[in-house]
Amino acid sequence: MISRNFLDMVLSVVNSNYASDADLDLIAGNRSIFSNCTMIAKRNGLYYRFINEFMKRHICLPFLDANNWNSELERLSEFKKSINLINHVSKKYNFDYILIKDCNTIEHVPRDIDIFIREGDSLRAIEAFKENGMRYVESSITEMILQQEGYVDIEIYNKINYLGKDYIDESYIFDSILDCSIFGINYHGMDSNANLILTLIHDLVGHRRITLLDFLHIENIMSDADIDKCRQYTLMKGWQNVFDLAIDELNRINNLVIVERVFISFPYIFPRSFMMKCFSLMGNLTSNRSRFIIYLSLIQDGIVEQIKKTILYDFIKSNKPIDIALASFINSINFKKYRGDKHK
């Protein structure tokens, strides 16, 4: 079992604002401690940040898995190429984009890139990417996925839509555009208000979980965001009560993790009762059928998250053909599609 001590150690490495007396040399030099901390970091999108913090301090890592680290650096190279491709294609074919769900306050290597494009530009953008070597592999009501060898997946959104409801307008997203940078590469991102609203609703309804990366990122942007303006916007969109409920839940988690130092497992799964309350407040439980399907999707969430904690999941993710085949099978019976999220 992963203890509070390991979580405390990971936080002390990846979060410069976290007050801790953890000994980084001890973490790096003890096989068991390093292995458990690395596992937490990896499962929460923080593997690059965790390892890189040791390297920046020139701390020897005798138990570092060289293959895993080299794979991470390879994906970092693919990520940089993908951002450059997006910048090139959008400029050449004259369409705007915004990188969403980027967690740009914490340096990390994502598994894919999510970009928001105006609905009227979507088909033209897809053709532009295809002309530049990308393959159009699948789509849903909310996203279109493009792939190419040597690049991370690019997922195109033109709606932030869950359960048939648009939570954020296209105009609001593009009004929030900012010039941002990650790993020395410029891109178009969002201001803190839009970033907070979008990350929160995606984690809550789309995934029903929050990784440690997302948690720390949300804490970072909440200090810059105008919460009152966020509440006003979500009120206009009809889900301010859920926004308030989610902010209260995040504050509760923050108090437990950062202040009281209570152990919470990350990725944190929002409780089923909490989710049903959110869906009820949003008016999604209008029939026995909708209640039943949403409830099944929440059960599926729990099963998948338990599988992700096993060695079997790590093996599947390291074997791309098996990963693709399993993803296809799960998506064929995926109750989360009803919520508007295809991902397993």
pLDDT in tens, 210-224: 999 999 999 999 999
- Give CA–CA dist 156/174, Å, rounded: 15
Same domain, 71 and 169: yes
Q: Evaluate if residue 43 carries a pLDDT over 90.
A: yes
- Give CA–CA dist 237/167, Å, rounded: 6
Q: How far is CA 279 from its chain centroid?
A: 21
Q: Evaluate if residue 314 carries a pLDDT over 90.
A: no
- Across 111-126, average pLDDT: 94
Q: Evaluate if residue 243 carries a pLDDT over 80.
A: yes
Task: Give the pLDDT score at 62.
Answer: 97
Longest CA span, the chain: 59
- Give CA–CA dist 64/31, Å, rounded: 9
Same domain, 132 and 183: yes
Q: Would you place residue 8 in the very low, low, confident or very high pLDDT band (cuts 50, 70, 90)?
A: very high
- The larger pLDDT score, comparing residue 306 to residue 203, is at 203
259-305 per-position pLDDT tens digit: 998 889 999 999 989 998 988 888 766 667 667 677 677 777 777 77
- Across 143-155, average pLDDT: 92
Same domain, 166 and 135: yes
Same domain, 161 and 177: yes
Q: Evaluate if residue 30 carries a pLDDT over 60.
A: yes
Buried (b) or exposed (e) across 208-220, using 16+ Cβ within 10 A?
bbbbbbbbbbbbb
- The larger pLDDT score, comparing residue 156 to residue 21, is at 156
92, 128 Cβ separation under 8 angstroms: yes
Q: What is the torsional sign of CA 253, 257, 262, 268?
A: positive
Q: Would you place residue 140 in the very low, low, confident or very high pLDDT band (cuts 50, 70, 90)?
A: low
Q: What is the DSSP letter of 257?
A: I
Q: What is the torsional sign of CA 279, 281, 283, 289?
A: positive
114, 203 Cβ separation under 8 angstroms: no
Task: Give the pLDDT score at 318.
Answer: 64
Q: Evaluate if residue 135 carries a pLDDT over 90.
A: yes
Residue 302 located in a structural domain: yes
What total number of domains does the chain contain? 4
Residue 207 located in a structural domain: yes
Q: Which of 54-58, 157-161, 228-232 shows the lowest mean pLDDT across its residues?
A: 157-161
Residue 245: partners with Cβ closer than 8 Å, 6 or more residues away:
274, 277, 278, 281
- Give CA–CA dist 334/344, Å, rounded: 8
Residue 10 located in a structural domain: yes
Q: Which of 82-96, 237-251, 298-312 shows the lowest mean pLDDT across its residues?
A: 298-312
Residue 258: partners with Cβ closer than 8 Å, 6 or more residues away:
18
Same domain, 131 and 148: yes
Same domain, 199 and 309: no
> H helices of the chain, where?
4-14, 24-29, 31-43, 47-56, 66-92, 122-131, 170-175, 192-201, 212-222, 227-236, 240-254, 272-281, 288-307, 311-318, 320-332
Q: What is the DSSP letter of 145?
A: E
- The share of the chain scoring above pLDDT 70, in percent, equals 84
Tell me the residue range of the domain where 125 lies: 66-190
Task: Give the pLDDT score at 343.
Answer: 46
Q: Would you place residue 309 in the very low, low, confident or very high pLDDT band (cuts 50, 70, 90)?
A: low
Residue 280 located in a structural domain: no
Q: Evaluate if residue 247 carries a pLDDT over 50.
A: yes
Task: Give the pLDDT score at 141.
Answer: 56
Same domain, 137 and 177: yes
46, 106 Cβ separation under 8 angstroms: yes
Statement: the pTM of the whole predicted model exceeds 0.85: yes
Same domain, 51 and 74: no
- Across 91-108, average pLDDT: 94
Encoded amino acid at 259, one letter: V
- Helix 192-201 and helix 240-254, axial crossing angle in degrees, nearest 10: 90
Q: Would you place residue 344 in the very low, low, confident or very high pLDDT band (cuts 50, 70, 90)?
A: very low
- The share of the chain scoring above pLDDT 90, in percent, equals 67
